[in-house]
Chains A and B, each alone.
Chain A
Amino acid sequence: MSESSKKNPADNLKEAFQKLSNEVKQLGMVLGVKEGEQGQVSQPEPPKNEFAKDMTQEEKQKQRAAKAAEKKARAEAAAAKKAGGAAAPQQNQQKAKEPAPKKEQVAKPAKEQNQPKSQQQQQSAKPKEEKIPKSALKSTKNQSNGAPNREVQFDLQSNTTNVLRTSESEEVVVTPDPPIVPLEDAQSLANIHPAFLTLYSRCDKELIFDLEQLCQEFIRSFKLFLSGFASHSEPSTFSKEFDQAIRPQLTYLTHGGRWPLPYALGNIVRQLKREVLKLDSTSPISQQIEDIHQWLEDAESVNFEDAYRGIFASIEPKLAKTKCVLTYDWCPVVNHVLLESVEKRPDLRVCFVDPELNGRAVKHVNSFVDKGYKCQYTDLKSVGYAIKQCSMIVLGCSAILSNGCVATTKGSIQIALTAKAYNVPVLVVSQYFKFVDKVQSYTRMALLGRENIELLPSTLVTAIVTDIRILAPTAAPAVLKAKALDLD
Chain B
Amino acid sequence: MTEGRTEVEDLKRNFVLALRKNTKRPSSSTISMNVINFLRKIILVEKVKTIAELLASLHNHAKFLSAVEPTELIIINIVLMTSKLARDELNKKNGNGNIRAYDSLFTLCKPSEPTDMKDTDMKKIKKDLIESIRELTIEIDSCRESISAQSSDLIFNQDVVMVYQLETSKTLYSFLAKTREANRKYRVFNVIPESKNEELNDFTSSIRLHDVASKICETTKVFLTCIAVFPDGSCLVPAGGQSIALMAKRHSVPVYVLAPFYKITPFFIPDPNALNISQRTNMPFEFSAKSAGNVEILQPAFDLLDSQYIFQFVSNSSCIIPAHINRLKEDYYHPEDIALY
A-side residues, CB < 8 A to B, are 351, 355-358, 362, 365-366, 368-369, 372-386, 388, 409-411, 413-414, 417-418, 421, 452, 454
B208 at the interface (CB under 8 A from A): yes
Structural contact, B297 and A381, CB atoms closer than 8 A? no
Q: What 1/0 mask marks residues of chain B from 150 to 170 whose CB sits below 8 Å from any chain A CB?
A: 000000000000000000000
Q: Is B298 in contact with A369, judged by CB distance below 8 angstroms?
A: no
Which of chain B's residues has its CB closest to A383's CB?
B243
Q: Which residues of chain A are within 8 angstroms of B300 by Cβ–Cβ distance?
A: 382, 385
Q: Is the CB of A385 within 8 A of B298?
A: yes
Residue of A at shortest CB range from B191? A381
Chain A residues within 8 Å of B291, by CB: 365-366, 369, 377
CB-CB < 8 A to B194: which residues of A? Answer: 356-357
Contacts of B209 in A (CB 8 A): 355-356, 380-381, 411, 414
Q: Which chain A residue shows the least CB distance to B281?
A: A357
With A385-B273, A414-B243, A454-B214 known as contacts, the answer to whether A377 contacts B290 (CB < 8 A) is no
A-B contact pairs, 13 of them (CB 8 A): A355-B209, A357-B283, A358-B287, A362-B287, A369-B294, A377-B296, A379-B193, A380-B210, A380-B240, A381-B240, A414-B209, A414-B243, A417-B243
Q: Using Cβ atoms and an 8 Å threshold, which residues of chain B touch A368?
A: 294-295
Binding site for A on B (CB under 8 A): 193-195, 208-214, 239-240, 242-243, 246-247, 250, 273, 276, 281-284, 287, 290-291, 294-300, 303-304
A-chain residues with CB within 8 Å of residue B284 when the two chains form the complex: 358
Across the A-B interface, give the 10 residue pairs with the lowest CB-CB distance, nearest first.
A381-B240, A411-B210, A378-B298, A414-B243, A385-B300, A384-B242, A413-B213, A417-B246, A410-B210, A355-B210
Inter-subunit contact A386/B298 (CB<8 Å): yes
CA distance A388 to B194 in the complex (A): 23
A312 to B193, CA, bound (A): 34
Q: Which residues of B contact A351 (CB under 8 A)?
A: 298
Residue of A366, A373, A411, A421 touching B213 (CB-CB under 8 A):
A411
Expressed in whole angstroms, the minimum distance between the Cβ of A418 and any Cβ of chain B is 6
Among A356, A374, A376, A386, find the residue whose CB has the most chain B CB atoms closer than 10 A: A356
Most buried by B among A381, A417, A452: A381
Q: How far is the CA of A381 from the CA of B193 in the complex (A)?
A: 7
Excluding A356-B194, A380-B210, 6 further A-B contacts by CB distance (< 8 Å) are A356-B208, A378-B297, A378-B299, A379-B193, A410-B214, A414-B212
CB < 8 Å neighbour of B210 from A357, A372, A414: A414
Q: Say yes or no: B247 contacts A417, CB within 8 Å.
A: yes
Beta-carbon contact of A382 and B240 below 8 Å: yes
Inter-subunit contact B282/A365 (CB<8 Å): no
Quick check: A372 and B212 within 8 Å, CB to CB?
A: no
Q: A380-B209, A414-B213, A454-B214 are in contact. Are A373 and B297 (CB under 8 A)?
A: no
Contacts of B247 in A (CB 8 A): 413-414, 417
In the complex, what's the smallest C-beta–C-beta distance from B25 to chain A, in angstroms? 17
Interchain CB contact (< 8 A) of B294 among A373, A382, A385, A418: A373
CB distance from B92 to the nearest CB of A (A): 46
Rounded to whole Å, the gap between the CB of B49 and the closest CB of chain A is: 48
CA gap between A414 and B304 in the complex, in Å: 16
C-alpha spacing A373/B300, complex, angstroms? 23
Residue of B nearest to A365 (CB): B295
CA distance A373 to B296 in the complex (A): 12
Q: Which residues of B contact A379 (CB under 8 A)?
A: 193, 299
A421 near B246: Cβ-Cβ < 8 Å: yes
Complex contacts, A362 vs chain B, CB 8 Å: 287
B239 in complex: contacting residue of A365, A381, A411, A452, CB < 8 Å = A381
In the bound complex, do residue B282 and residue A357 qualify as a contact, i.e. CB atoms below 8 Å apart? yes
The smallest C-beta distance from A378 to any residue of chain B, in angstroms, reads: 4
For residue B281, which residues in chain A have a CB less than 8 angstroms away from its CB? 357
Nearest Cβ on chain A to B279's Cβ, whole angstroms: 9
Given contacts A357-B281, A375-B295, A378-B298, contact A410 B213 (CB under 8 A): yes
Q: Give the shortest distance, in Å, between B292 (CB) and chain A (any CB).
A: 9
The contact of B295 among A355, A374, A414, A417, by CB within 8 Å, is A374
Chain B residues with CB under 8 A of A410? 210-211, 213-214
A170 to chain B, nearest CB (A): 9
Chain A residues within an 8 Å CB radius of B212 = 414
